[in-house]
Amino acid sequence: MSPADDDTTVRAAGCVLWRRAPWTGSPGVELCLVHRPKYDDWSHPKGKLKPGEDPLAGALREVAEETGYAAEPGIELPTVRYLANGRPKEVRYWAAAAGAGAFAPSDEVDRILWLAPDAARTRLTEPRDRDLVDALLATRPDGNGR
């Protein structure tokens, strides 16, 4: 049985949030990572879905809550499944271009970083989050074939 088949599965959603880099380079994008002081980790913005909440709507809500930025969703990225505190967890992700906004620290997220993809891969705490960087780059979010 996969975690998605289990009624106890924690359902969550998030985005790999990107923007055009202020420097010229390949692929010319920066990714937003969030730092959660409770876990002292770096991850993509994500969070648990509210009961009955549409996963994409929840992903966009979480991005806004955690980063302060509006997001324009793109293609859905691979779903990540793992155990969290002994319970199966399923997180659906979307590529999302950052819109207007500004970060304000909170108890949940105290810092964000905008990093080039290679630096983001290095900074991400969980290896499973690194695969999402490659999935995003495969969508060509730099405007060249998106």
| pLDDT tens digits along 46-97 | 999 999 999 999 999 999 999 999 999 999 999 999 999 899 999 999 999 9
> Higher model confidence: residue 78 or residue 25?
78
Looking at residue 4, its pLDDT comes to 46
Report which of 35, 31, 132 is spatially closest to residue 80, judged by C-alpha positions: 132
What single-letter DSSP state applies at residue 53?
-
Give one word for 16, left, alpha or beta, with left for phi > 0 and alpha for psi -120 to 50. beta
Q: What does DSSP say about strands 10-20 and 87-101: parallel, antiparallel, or unpaired?
A: parallel
* Strands (E) located in the chain: 10-20, 29-36, 41-43, 46-48, 69-84, 87-101, 111-115
Q: Kindly report the average pLDDT of the chain as a whole number.
A: 90
The answer on pLDDT for 9 being more than 70 is: yes
